[in-house]
Structure 1
Amino acid sequence: MEDTDSGKPRRLKYADIIDAFLLNEWPMEGRLPVGFEGRIFEEIVQQILDKNGVENKVEERHLPKTISSDFHEAAFLAGRPLRARRKYYLPDFTLTDNIWIEATLWESEAHKKTFLYAHQCDRLIVLYLCSSGAVRFRSSFKNTIVISVYDYFPPGQIGQYIHSLRRLETIVGGS
């Protein structure tokens, strides 16, 4: 969870802005600085996981696995061949049993992330905040689910965070 620019953990570096937003103290007339929407969304998802007692590790580094032919075939049929392997993979959240969670702002980006990560874990859940209309490449991997954060965590479960998510969706959607 290190920020390569400063060496400070990302949560600490951006803590004041994230806390101001979550405490409803962010001035709504102004936009968030570029990149902060994603960081705030990840923080909200982290708090939702914690509130629901889901054990997780944040940005845990994973070495690459060999990509099976099933994934290559599914990606080829979707018209989006898998990219070359990375030196390591860094999902937003790692749960037990090799389940990874990615949090992204847009639905279209959520589907793109399945092509980056699905072949490296047993199960991939990609949560998104805002629908983005037409999605060019839809995931067809059997071990993935792409879902709105509102569908994954029903309002009764996330309670106090619904307001923050709705505010964030308004800010992101207005850009």
Structure 2
Amino acid sequence: MEMQGSRTLAVTQEQAWSALNNPDVLKASIPGCDKVEATGENQYAVGVAVKIGPVSAKFNGKITLTDVQPPESYTLSFDGQGGAAGFGKGQAQVKLVPQGTGCELNYSARAQVGGKIAQMGQRLIDGVAKSMAEDFFRRFDEEMQRRHPEAYAAAAAAQPAPEAEVAPKAGGIPVWAWIAGAIVLIALVWWMR
């Protein structure tokens, strides 16, 4: 399975980078996650509960970061075991690109699953994986809003105000002239009866 996506964040590249390397932020952002613990330099132990169709499983695994280029990018490798439910492993490239006063978080990932979970069917697995990725981005963005409200307030203030609606002119003739003409026409039709 392959996925890719992006999300625009109001926080700076450095703030997003710091958060992506913070076990507490990751734990709060990963759906079903109950553990993210640093086990070494650029290595983490994780625990995640996943439900795909009728199969529920608790995956314990590890995440290793390689090709680390602060505050821009890294490659994340993951390997998790879910007991009888199966396994999941894969790799994701994560990149932060400065964009105005904020940044854009881009990712592309490849994953492989096996065991009972793989028997659920590729469409179901792809749907759950995409939903989890969207949940991660939403939760990560919410965590950034909670930790850096000033960045989001500044981004909201920088949005252009909606333009006030102006009464349209029909063919260059002012609308009041059209209304006056309609009144005259109605009066003329009434008088001719």
Q: TM-score higher than 0.5 here?
A: no
**Greater Rg by CA:** 2
Alignment TM-score, normalising by the size of structure 2: 0.29
TM-score by length of structure 1 reads 0.30
